[in-house]
Amino acid sequence: MPSGRPHLLRASLLLLAALLWVGAGAPPAAAHGILERSDPAANASLDAPPRQVVLWFNEPVDATFSSATVADAQGRRVSRDAALSADRRVLQVPVGDLSSGLYTVRWRVLSAVDGHTTSGAFVFAVGQAVPTGLGGSEPAPPAPGTVAVRWAAFLGAIVLAGNIFFQAVVLHQALRGTDAEIAATVRATTTPRLRRLQVSAALLLLISAIVGFALTATSLLEMPLLRALPRGLLGPLLLDTKVGWSILIIIPFTVLLLLPPSRWGRIVRSGGLILIVGLAGLAALFRGPASLRESGHGLHLVVTVGFAAAYALVTAVRRPPAVDWISAVVAAGLLAGFTITAHASGGGWPAAIADWLHLLAAALWVGGLAALLLTLRSLRGTPQLRARETSTTTSQAVLPGLVRRFSNVAAVCLGVLLVTGLYSSWLHVPGLRALAVTAYGRTLALKGLLIVPLVLLGAINHFILRPRLAADPAAGNPVLRRLLRVVTGEIGLGVLILLVVAALTITPPARVTLPVAAREPLVLAGIAGGVKVRLTITPAQPGWNRYEVEATAAGDQIPAGPGVRLLLRLKKLDEDLAPVTVTLQPGAGRYAAAGGELALPGWWELEVVVRRRGRLDVSTAFPLLLEKGPPRASDPAAQALLDRARRATRALRGWRETEQLTDGKGNVVVADYDLVPPNRLRYRTSAGNEAVIIGTTRYTRTGPGDWERDTLPQALTLEGPLLYMRDAERVMLGRRDRCGPEDCQVVLWQLSGGSASFAAWIGTSSGRVHRLLMVAGAHYMTLRAGDFNAPITIAPPR
């Protein structure tokens, strides 16, 4: 091993650490800025005009290059400049005095986590209903031109880095120990072709990277690049965003790799590498390249430039190593420039390192295949190798070792690709069904399908052609021709896979978009005023959801018409946020809408309101608990209020309850209870069952049939809500609300062991429980209590 190689290895690790610190130093996030919810909500119909439009995003976005506008039905802008919150997750868009009509909100954000641009649009209405078929839109798919430019950049980078890695790891090692004359002949034969491949790949990468940056800049700045240049708008984009950091890494490293392999080329390359390492280290230390413009860093920059120049001078007087390891380190840093804007950059250090290793393995395997093909063709056409009198010795010395070395390296790369690829899939895909129902999942599945034949061709090389070539290494061996054809097929598949990867890297991950049907839908059913309602929520997870409601009366669907409206009201119970009302649009036998109203995890109450002209509104409510948080200690104030509710319940002389229980799959039972402590109960269910219980005596009947009497094993003891307050843990205060004649405080808790979670409206004056919600496995209960201390008589039926 050359003496300079350990130092270059340390330089490579330092370079990687500096670049990834800049790119992945943010806290772990989901990657890709996605609109979680808005106020007004997508597809909402408002009675009064809003003063502003508020957009909540799943991760921090860039303040300079994120924007949103509101336009009326004629396309006229009716909003002022948007303002970003301190945590950079909320855009507030002030609007003027809006009249009745339809309004469109368009937004575009640049993620501060992974540097990806996301855009979308939705509509809302003031004083009228939103026309059928309009509503919120999910992020637009990548444009074909953007994918093509990204593909060219990946292709150039993979081939460029793979060519350099091939020479350092495969070709040089295969020539070690061979005759010096043969090694010199092989290098003289292969170097010009590999150099041409390197220059072509570098030029392709430079052009595509510059074009890609220009497209991104034009989109974010909303003006041509030539107009943005004199206004100084490109400086912040280059120095303050990951899009700029990526291009500031890719372009200098590519230029270094374009330098000729002469003595002066090696000197400039080594000095440039140390200079970039120093600048990247300073940027990482002071949280971004923009900080280096400050006057206080003048001495730091002088020291960095001086050290780079000194290293270049030392390199000039040293004997050049047999292998240009500096180029390999530069190529590794070049690939880190792609990791900075990858989805993995939002997942923390482990995800970023895994992505970088994935690119390294892909470059060495797929990019190295192109270099291997050129090398094999060069050796096959070399006169010294074609000559019959020297072919056996020379071929035995070069071809078997070269193919064996690359095959072994490719096997290691395959293992790295599988491990890092599975880890990335686990990070970004929430389940197997997401592979079929999300754009990201389908693209990932296509990549997997293309990898299968690539692996099969590699296996043919490794297990069949390689042993045959070792047995007869003559340059004219037909096995070598078959090997060349298989390698060509591998390269073609690799190019297609890179096209899929280009689309994959700019498609929002499946875990972020939380699309419709990515998880099993939740179907909540309820009955109110003779109307049965089925509310389907997909996927019933924090983020983007689709709501579908079927409403039937007397077994028939309520027909859509001018006098019929279905509303969905969403109320956050553990936070005092303004309730959101969504107007559901009719179509295909049901009413539906989609949006990010359920963006936040925690407790929610969902109320479906059926409004028909000439009739009173009817409504039914359901509990919804999205992703329970980690265990917390009880709030003393909440615990005191719950204890007061226990005492108030024990003091009641009688009350009435209506309990609705649904299983999350569309089944429902509603029961009306009359309760008189200590042991008298009467109830009737929506299924027609009735019962009267007095002490140990129970009377039951179904429908209009006769009453039947039996005896219970022990006397009934009424507890009411006390039954659900035993072993309460994690008791917390929620929002304040109104409960008829008095104010209520929502109290939240769960039973010991987390088997069930509850939300109760407790009167602040009386301490009584007016309403109670429960989520427990496949049980979603809504309970309403009233007629407290009313004169209720419960006697045996006649």
Same domain? For 218 and 362 the reply is yes
Task: Check: CB of residue 130 under 8 Å from CB of residue 585.
Answer: yes
Do β-strands 45-46 and 117-126 pair in parallel, antiparallel, or remain unpaired? parallel
Asked if residue 548 is part of any domain, the answer here is yes
H or E element: which one contains 668? strand 668-676
Q: Which residue has the higher pLDDT, 705 or 409?
A: 409
| Cβ neighbours for 498, distance < 8 A, ≥ 6 positions apart | 151, 154, 155, 158, 366
Beta bridge partners of 619: 609
**CA distance linking residue 142 with residue 689, whole number of Å:** 57
Report how far residue 682's alpha carbon sits from residue 650's, in angstroms, rounded to the nearest whole number: 19
For residue 40, say if its preceding peptide bond is cis, omega within 30 degrees of 0.
yes
Give the pLDDT score at 21: 45
Higher pLDDT, 157 or 511: 157
The CATH code of the domain that includes 590 is 2.60.40.3340
Instruction: Tell me, yes or no, whether 104 lies in a domain.
Output: yes
pTM: 0.62
Q: Are residues 575 and 683 in the same domain?
A: no
Judge if 761 and 689 occupy the same domain.
yes
The parent domain of residue 363 ranges over: 144-261+324-512
- Residue 298: its pLDDT value, please? 58
pLDDT (average), residues 465-494: 82
Q: Is residue 668 part of a domain?
A: yes
For residue 662, the Cα-to-chain-centroid distance in whole angstroms is: 32
Terminal alpha carbon distance of the chain: 102
DSSP reduced 3-state for 438: coil
387/250 same-domain check: yes
Q: Report pLDDT digits (tens) over 635-652.
A: 999 999 999 999 999 999
Whole-number pLDDT of residue 378: 82
CATH of the domain at 777: 2.50.20.10
Q: Give the end of a domain, one of 136, 155, 187.
A: 136
Q: Is the peptide bond before 141 cis (omega within 30 degrees of 0)?
A: no
| 57-68 pLDDT, tens digit each | 877 888 888 889
Scored b (16 or more CB within 10 A) or e, 362-400 reads bbbbbbbbbbbbbbbebbbebeebeeeeebeebbebbbb
Determine, yes or no, domain membership for 331: yes
Give 150-218 as a DSSP string. HHHHHHHHHHHHHHHHIIIIIIHHHHTTS-HHHHHHHHHHHHHHHHHHHHHHHHHHHHHHHHHHHHHHH
Query: For residue 107, how far is the Cα from the chain centroid?
Result: 18
pLDDT 10s digits, 235-264 = 777 777 788 888 888 998 899 899 888 777
Residues 56 and 149 grouped into a single domain = no
Give the burial string for 742-755 (b: 16+ CB within 10 Å, else e): eebbbbbbbbeeee
Interstrand relation of 52-57 and 602-612 (parallel, antiparallel or unpaired): unpaired
What average pLDDT is seen over the chain? Answer: 82
| Cβ 366 vs Cβ 167: under 8 Å | no
pLDDT in tens, 349-376: 788 888 999 999 999 999 999 999 999 8
Q: Report d(CA 53, CA 790) in Å as an integer.
A: 47
- Asked, for residue 410, whether it belongs to a domain, the answer is yes
Quick one: how far is CA 271 from the chain centroid?
39
Q: How confident is the model at residue 382 (pLDDT cuts 50, 70, 90)?
A: low
Q: What percent of the chain has pLDDT over 90?
A: 35
- Token pair listed for 446: 């296509």
Report the candidate in 146, 106, 108, 100 with the shortest Cα–Cα distance to residue 123: 106
Q: Is the pLDDT of residue 16 over 50?
A: no
- Does the pLDDT at position 121 exceed 60? yes
Question: Is 461 in the same domain as 593?
Answer: no
pLDDT in tens, 408-451: 999 999 999 999 999 888 888 877 777 877 788 888 899 999 99
Specify whether 66 is located in the same domain as 203: no
Co-location of 644 and 740 in the same domain: yes
pLDDT of res. 578: 81
Highest mean pLDDT (candidates 293-307, 388-402, 413-427, 512-526):
413-427
CA 327 to chain CA mean position, Å: 35
Question: Which of 185-189, 269-273, 319-323, 711-715 bottoms out in mean pLDDT, i.e. has the lowest?
Answer: 319-323
Confidence at 776, pLDDT banded by 50, 70, 90: confident
Given a cut of 70, whether residue 795 has pLDDT beyond it is: yes
**Which helix (H) or strand (E) element contains residue 396?**
helix 388-428
Let me know whether 187 and 118 are in one domain: no
Q: Identify whether residues 610 and 642 lie together within a single domain.
A: no
740 and 661 in a single domain? The answer is yes
pLDDT band, very low/low/confident/very high, at 90 (cuts 50, 70, 90) = confident
| In the predicted structure, residue 23 carries a pLDDT above the cut 50 | no
> Number of structural domains, the chain?
4
Residues 151 and 121 in one domain: no
Report how far residue 768's alpha carbon sits from residue 719's, in angstroms, rounded to the nearest whole number. Answer: 13
Quote the CA–CA distance of 471 and 475 in Å, as a whole number: 12
Query: Given this model, what pLDDT does residue 323 score?
Result: 58
Residue 412, domain member (yes or no): yes
Query: End of a domain among 458, 477, 512?
Result: 512
Which pLDDT does position 519 carry in this prediction? 52
